A and B are shown apart, each in its own frame.
Chain A
Amino acid sequence: MKSSVIVFPGSNCDRDIAVALKKFNFKNKMVWHDDSDLPKSDLIVLPGGFSYGDYLRTGCIASKSKIIKEVINHASSGGLILGVCNGFQILIETGLLPGTLLRNKKLRFISKNVFLKVVNTQNKFCKKYLNKKIIELPIAHNEGNYFANNNLVKKLEDDDLIAFKYCDKKGSINNKSNPNGSSNNIAGILNDKKNILGMMPHPERFIDPLLSGEDGSRIFQSLLQSL
């Protein structure tokens, strides 16, 4: 499976995601934001970080990069896209995913491991979570408070477009298990065609038992299996 990781000025999880892709045997290329050609890829990853220093609005300036046109073309022809953390913010700014990401409710950066419920396992990113729906992954963000108005939340719920929700160890989804104030505890969403996944937690940081967990691995395994 071929993948491309887009590198923006200020991306800082680009290496981490490349390490993860390599571990799961993806043939990966790093692509500079200012390039106009995208290598032939099955999967495009927009990595975490602080593209353009989060200036103006997180993900906003990156969404105007030259390469984004190619990313949008890739999406409309059904190609797979994964956006993690800042990558999720960029996907929202490009309009490929709906809603918006606000500052965390307590106005502080949050870096910790959280529990997630995999709400939708019927997509190419999450198939391998079918028999393990409560998972643990790290978050590390300042603007991860997913906001959607009532209509959008209803649509996301009705159309089964929510991939992950924050929960506690036992799987309860409530205010207490919501780290950043996101609507309906949403941690990750899919587009209508389910070929794009945006998520705040970092699967690439949890692919190794030494790093206290491997729950991130299944996303990469799911993607491999889907092709």
Chain B
Amino acid sequence: MKITPEIVKNHGLKKDEYEKIKTLIRKEPNMLELGIFSAMWNEHCSYKSSKKYLKTLPIKNEKVIHGPGENAGAVDIGDDEALIFKIESHNHPSFIEPYQGAATGVGGILRDVFTMGARPIAVLNSIHFGHQDHPKTKNLLNGVVSGIGGYGNCMGIPTVGGEVKFDTCYNENILVNAMAVGLVKKDKIFLSKAKGVNKPVIYVGSKTGRDGIHGASMASAEFDKDSEEKKPTVQVGDPFTEKLLLEACLELMKDDSIISIQDMGAAGLTSSSVEMASKGSLGIELNLNKIPCREEKMTPYEMMLSESQERMLLILNIGKEEKAKEIFNKWGLDFSIIGKTTNTKNLVLNFNNYEVANLPISSLSTDAPVYDRKWKKSSIQKDHKKKNDLKSINLSDSLKTILSSPNNTEKGWVWEQYDQTVMGDTIQKAGGDAAVVRIHGKNKGVAITVDSSAQYCAANPIDGAKQIVSESWRNLISVGANPIAITNCLNFGNPEKEKIMGQFIETIDGIKQACSYLNFPVVSGNVSFYNETQNRAISPTPTIGAVGLIKNLDLMMTKDLKNIGSFIFVIGKTSGHLHQSQFFREVLKREKGPPPEVNLFNEKKNGLSIQTLISLKLTSSVHDVSKGGILIALSKMCIGGNIGININIKNKNISMHEYFFGEDQSRYIIEVSEKNKEEVCKILDKNSVYFEIIGKTQKGNLEFKDKFNLKVSDLNTLNSFWFKNHFKDSA
């Protein structure tokens, strides 16, 4: 078949890209070869718009074992153990087919983790939907939540946390970001780099079907009004097979059979084989007649571009094939020797005894285009509206409005659909500042959090990105962990537009500043561009997944108030920043204006001081102050412990609304017993940390002078009402 400009366009390749292909391979590609280029050169696989900037992120500290470039990042947690973790998006498929899109998103990220030899120990996710009343939202939310649960529950890996958010900017473009964390012995980490010539290349897992063909290309284009017709490009997940694949891989990994291993994710067999060969500077030759196929008469084009799930590519040491086959057969999985490594540095595909494709590996990997796209500085959002007269606005009604709003409500309706306690090591479930999962058999744990602040980022990408990295750091500190590193999922619109590219570049700048200052490097992640439909892009949404270590679980903290008669401290200065706050959005419906700034010096100083207090057992509970400000944070601490607080503060030079609802950064609230009060003050003074004692815990009510007096049980009801009501059930 002759390659026409029309065919090139349908493969998502630009005219000049096609010319570049011809120059690189010194011939006209055939259809199969063109398909392979389309799979490797699309934005999703090649990172062609983002590469230049991703390179500027800090990726190392003393704990990092493997940074970006592997299937997932790896960090040292002592005792010869490492954590493997990564976050990834599955936005486009989930919008088209929410259940399968979300399910295979979880499946894909789990494979990234166990490909490296780690047993997954936790899954988290960050999911963003359109406005709660948008006609699509309910169905999408239902589908995504049951898809995430359906996959993770069946795999037997606890889903321990995450976030669920609503904003009109996601009306036609939801976000589903899934994060997985695994545990491995440091000397048993497996990588994807091929080594040695003539080594057998093995296909294991599910059979290849016609699902997901061109999935990665679909995720590299904007949606139009016919997007829902793209359903066949969404893969179908089978968590049962993945569970078998997990057990079989981990069993084979016990000895030295495997040279390298790579899961077949986006762009399936194509990208996995190219990646392994490219990293090893080798060639690879495959006999496509050996591919286990689910359907009859599949063509080489379909086999190479299918994104069928639950498949892996292995390169084995010679002589280990039989033993490996036995293991995979025991688990009822396909095992087929489909080719070998070569020294030609080419990808060669044979089918029915003909060579059907022959391409230099470099043309698909290192020589793929990298763009330095044009961009435009984001304009800093200003709020031109007249100031509200805050005096007329009731504090207690405002609190109630925020607590019961969909973005701030408790999300038990969602968490209860995820198995959170399987594996018997979940110490803190979803709902706290960070989830805590015990390292099996030890008295130490990993703290994990996933956060995003799209509204801050839309108003100012640099400050927003700095804020969200800092917030994830703060969340880990709050549960008593030592923050180690992050993984990021960068969700944006179309990078070919200068405004979007500008948002992206500034976001990277913000992440870089915060990560460098906090010694909190980025070890893995992904970029999802083209999150826009009919020319409407989502707000820039960097999602940060972060991990930390709690060396001694006896020192773990929760946000729930513990005792009556304790002192409540606010750590960090409150200057009353209300722009972009939940108070402005939910109560006054003001959406313009700059987000709060982060002073990284104070962030670090305050955080390290909290760490000291926790390590000396001077706090009974700790909570970071984030969206909603002090009063929302206090309410959640009260609800968690079913204990009230009597707030007793003097007049401030800012209004009470600014004080209670301002979203200034780098703040924490801590509960301190009478006996420890003096010691805590001494340490904070010594570290020059700003703090205030704002009241004492008491039975039953959260009250402030004559301004409000609310029963904690009523706050609880308000806070847990929204989802149940929206989905019309009481369970």
Contact = CB atoms under 8 A, between A and B. Distances in A.
Given A10-B243, A53-B238, A179-B731, A111 B417 contact: yes
B423 to A, nearest CB: 6
A44 interface: no
Contacts of A106: 729, 731
B422 A12 contact: yes
A111 B731 contact: no
B420 interface: yes
Interface stretch (B65-73, B146-154, B215-223, B577-585): B146-154
A204 B155 contact: no
Interface of A is mostly: mixed
A111 B729 CA distance: 16
Nearest to A113: B421
Interface stretch (A13-21, A126-134, A183-191): A13-21
Interface residues of A, number: 33
Contacts of A108: 146, 417, 731
Determine which residue in A12, A13, A49 has the highest number of CB atoms from chain B within 10 A of its CB, and name it. A12
Contacts of A48: 422
Nearest to A52: B240
B424 A16 contact: yes
Interface in B126-157: 146, 149-150, 153-156
A108 B729 CA distance: 12
A16 B331 CA distance: 20
B724 to A, nearest CB: 11
Nearest to B156: A12
Given A9-B331, A109-B153, A211 B424 contact: yes
A165 interface: no
Interface string B377-421: 000000000000000000000000000000000001001111111
B557 to A, nearest CB: 14
B239 A13 contact: no
A112 B418 CA distance: 9
A205 B418 CA distance: 15
B78 interface: no
A148 interface: no
A53 B240 contact: yes
B331 A140 contact: no
Nearest to B423: A16
B125 interface: no
B356 interface: no
B424 A140 contact: no
B553 interface: yes
Contacts of B553: 210
B427 interface: yes
Interface in B703-731: 729, 731
Given A9-B331, A106-B731, A210 B438 contact: yes
B635 interface: no
A211 to B, nearest CB: 7
A10 B427 contact: no
Nearest to B731: A106
B693 interface: no
Given A50-B243, A52-B240, A202 B421 contact: yes
Contacts of B425: 211
Nearest to A180: B731
Which of B149, B155, B420, B424: most chain A Cβ within 10 A?
Answer: B424
Nearest to A111: B419
Contacts of B240: 9-10, 50, 52-55
B332 interface: yes
A160 B244 CA distance: 40
A31 interface: no
B426 interface: yes
A102 interface: no
Going nearest first, the 5 A-B pairs with the smallest beta carbon separation are: A12-B156, A53-B240, A140-B419, A50-B154, A16-B424
21 contacts: A9-B331, A12-B154, A12-B156, A16-B424, A19-B424, A50-B154, A50-B156, A50-B239, A106-B731, A109-B146, A111-B415, A111-B416, A111-B418, A111-B420, A112-B416, A142-B153, A204-B424, A205-B422, A210-B427, A211-B421, A211-B426
